[in-house]
Amino acid sequence: MTSDIERIINYSRYPITEPNSAIFVEVIKRARHELNEKGIALLPDFMLSSALKETITDTEQVLPKAFRGISDHNVYLEDCKEEKLELNRPSQIISRSSKSCVTHDQINPSTPLKKLYMSQAMTDFVRLLLQREVLYRTADPLGALNVHVYKERDQLNWHFDRGEFAVTLLLQSPERGGHFQYIPSTRTQSKNNYPREMKTTTLLASQAGKDLSDLGVKQADLQPGTLVIFCGRNSMHRVTPVQGSKSRILAVLSYEQKPDVFLNEYTRMKFYGRLR
């Protein structure tokens, strides 16, 4: 197994099957520190360029079958097509997102990305990093491993994630745009709406195409091969519009605290356009 993993990830920098090694201990320590400080941990050069290339080629082959998701939503990821616009409430500021999604069942078992996701070593690595007693891959045949393809003008607009954390791996950067931006701790753990004004201001400024650098918006420096752990439940984030003909390609690796977790029918239809 180790040799398989060594052909996929930069093993000397991330020896994920050797949890007692000094390098592993240091990687985990640094990532946990970044998560605590900023709500995001970046592990650059995690996947080898040969594995990235093979995964991208395999993705492009199945891309014609991918579901094209276009949705109008607010920051809480609720569909709001019928709502009328009241500019002072974040829940009523609607923006559009679009991307294509390749599902777990469409990804070949021999694709390096899928081999990595299906390895127990990877699940254990994420579990240790996140300090969980147990962690399981999502059992859903569509939703377990996804590859999101953002072509020219595609974007994922401002939102909070429903899940507590997300594990992603950037496979390909576009020529321009397609940046991952976030506002650390936009809201507190409790359910209150603070700071609503900041959210509203950011949303309206970005809709108007204004500069967001004064609004506490951070931009992550993601390169192809970077593994990202992001706590997106309380930090509003987005992917800016992709510019140029080269797509942004990003893998989403899903994990759960319980075994045998499947998505409900509503979620499958919304994100994948089919039930099976």
Ligand X SMILES: O=C(O)CCC(=O)C(=O)O
Interface with ligand X by CB under 6 A: which residues?
148, 156, 161, 168, 180, 232, 237, 239, 250, 252
Q: Which is nearer to ligand X, 17 or 71 (CB)?
A: 71
Q: CB of residue 163 vs ligand X: minimum separation in angstroms?
A: 8
Residue 90 interaction partner, one of ligand X, Fe ion, none, beta carbon < 5-8 Å per kind: none
Quote the least distance from Cβ 232 to ligand X, whole Å: 6
- In the complex with ligand X, the residue whose CB is nearer, 100 or 168, is 168
In sequence order, what are the residues at sequence separation of 6 or more whose Cβ sits closer than 8 angstroms to the Cβ of residue 261?
136, 138, 139, 140
161 binds Fe ion (CB under 5 A): yes
Nearest to 117 by CA among 144, 150, 87, 154: 144
If the CB atoms of residues 25 and 70 are measured against Fe ion, the closer one turns out to be 70
Site for Fe ion in 204-263 (CB under 5 A): 232
CA distance 81 to 67: 20
Q: Could you give the angle at which helices 120-129 and 22-38 cross, rounded to 10 degrees?
A: 50
168 binds, among ligand X, Fe ion, none (CB under 5 to 8 A by kind): ligand X
To Fe ion, the closest distance from the beta carbon of 99 in angstroms equals 12
Question: What per-residue string of b and e applies to 43-54 under the rule 16 or more CB within 10 Å gives b?
Answer: beebbbeebbeb
Question: Judged by CB, which is closer to ligand X: 115, or 237?
Answer: 237
Residue 159, both tokens: 């939102």
d(CA 182, CA 206): 12
CB of 71 to Fe ion, least distance (A): 13
Please return the burial class of 31, using the count of CB atoms within 10 Å of its CB with bins 0-12, 13-18 and 19+.
buried
Which option in ligand X, Fe ion, none does residue 125 bind, with CB closer than 5 to 8 A by kind? none
The single residue listed with the structure tokens 């920051």 is 75
Of the pair 112, 174, the CB lying nearest ligand X is at 174
Give the shortest CB-254-to-ligand X separation in angstroms. 10
